[in-house]
Amino acid sequence: MSKTQDELKREVAQAALDFIAPHLTPASMLGIGTGSTANEFINLLGTSGLPFSGTVASSEASAQRLRDFGIPVLDLSLVNSLQFYIDGADEANGALELIKGGGAALTREKIVAAASEFFVCIADESKEVATLGKFPLPVEVIPMAENIVVSALRAMGGRPEVREGVITDNRNIIIDVYDFMIDDPKATETAINQITGVVCNGLFAHRGADLLLLSGQTGVRSLKA
Ligand code: 5RP
């Protein structure tokens, strides 16, 4: 019988916990991502009994879930560095470049990733692609800049659509860019960041993952940077 999507998420979350466990000490600080795969990781971390001192969360939702397990959640401004960041992705390529932001948490995710010494990305193998861009690329935008950012993204060749009913934890909007062939993820990440009004985009290419764990029907594969 084939494993369900939920079982695959749990399996890859367990693989991430097994990977970080030998490195943890009572002083360890962890960055924790957002989404259903990250939630599986929180469930396992919360009952693991492993030594660590606290976490920084990439969203209010993850912070609440961590607190529900009695895990300390700190503001990043109070933390010097994060030993590991564990988070999911919407797409990942063989260079460990990612699209993230399906859950609208991309800006905080990028900040936590930047503050982390080692980024473990966890996903089931349906997220693995040769070329990024089939998943619509999320872009977080200051609300008053919506029209000029939509025009600029259209001029770059994408089909931007405002994500209806979504306001980020930072009080901004999300524009999803469809039909974008992203041949050079680093260049595209830089170019979108140059559009006035853009806060952040969901390409994690300049700071991609350090380790990508992908669960599938035959087990978990590791891809290293
Ligand atoms: C949230 C994210 C998530 O990591 C991404 O959407 C994957 O989520 P899931 O694990 O539920 O498939 O980037 O902003």
What one-character DSSP code corresponds to residue 3?
P
Flag whether pLDDT at 225 surpasses 90. Answer: no
Flag whether pLDDT at 1 surpasses 90. Answer: no
Closest residue (by CA) to atom 10 of ligand 1? Answer: 37
Give tens-digit pLDDT for 31-63: 999 999 999 999 999 999 999 999 999 999 999
Mean pLDDT of 17-42: 98
| CA 181 / ligand 1 centre spacing (Å) | 20
Distance CA 99, CA 137 (A): 7
Give tens-digit pLDDT for 170-194: 999 999 999 998 999 999 999 999 9
Q: Which residues contact 183 (CB under 8 A, 6 or more apart)?
A: 131
Q: CA–CA distance from 78 to each of 25, 106, 116, 125, 131 (Å)?
A: 19, 21, 14, 36, 38
Flag whether pLDDT at 218 surpasses 90. Answer: yes
Q: What is the pLDDT of residue 119?
A: 98
Closest residue (by CA) to atom 8 of ligand 1? Answer: 35
Of 109, 117, 161, 164, catalytic: 109
Q: What is the pLDDT of residue 201?
A: 98
| CA 193 / ligand 1 centre spacing (Å) | 21
Confirm if 149 and 198 have CB atoms less than 8 A apart: yes
Mean pLDDT of 153-173: 97
Q: What is the pLDDT of residue 179?
A: 95
Work out whether the CA dihedral 127, 128, 130, 132 comes out positive or negative: positive
Q: What is the pLDDT of residue 147?
A: 98
| CA 88 / ligand 1 centre spacing (Å) | 5
Closest residue (by CA) to atom 5 of ligand 1? Answer: 89
7 has catalytic annotation = no
Ligand 1 atom with the shortest distance to the CA of 104: 14
Q: Residue 79: pLDDT band by 50, 70, 90 thresholds?
A: very high
What mean pLDDT is reported for the chain? 97
Cβ–ligand 1 contact at 32 (below 6 Å): no
Cβ–ligand 1 contact at 35 (below 6 Å): yes
Write the burial class of residue 186 (CB in 10 Å: 0-12 exposed, 13-18 middle, 19+ buried): middle
| CA 48 / ligand 1 centre spacing (Å) | 23
Closest residue (by CA) to atom 2 of ligand 1? Answer: 101
Q: Which residues contact 180 (CB under 8 A, 6 or more apart)?
A: 133, 136, 137, 156, 157, 158, 159, 188
Cβ–ligand 1 contact at 33 (below 6 Å): yes
Burial of 131-162, coded b for 16+ CB within 10 Å and e otherwise, reads ebbebbbbbbbeeebbeebbebbeeeebebee
Tokens linked to 179: 């039909």
Give tens-digit pLDDT for 84-140: 999 999 999 999 999 999 999 999 999 999 999 999 999 999 999 999 999 999 999
Question: Helix, strand, coil proportions of the chain in percent (round to 5)?
Answer: 35, 25, 40
- Of all residues in the chain, the percent with pLDDT exceeding 70 is 100
| CA 34 / ligand 1 centre spacing (Å) | 6
Q: What is the pLDDT of residue 175?
A: 98
Cβ–ligand 1 contact at 87 (below 6 Å): yes
Flag whether pLDDT at 28 surpasses 90. Answer: yes
Best residue for ligand 1 mutational test, from 8, 9, 32, 34 (most atoms within 8 Å of Cβ): 34
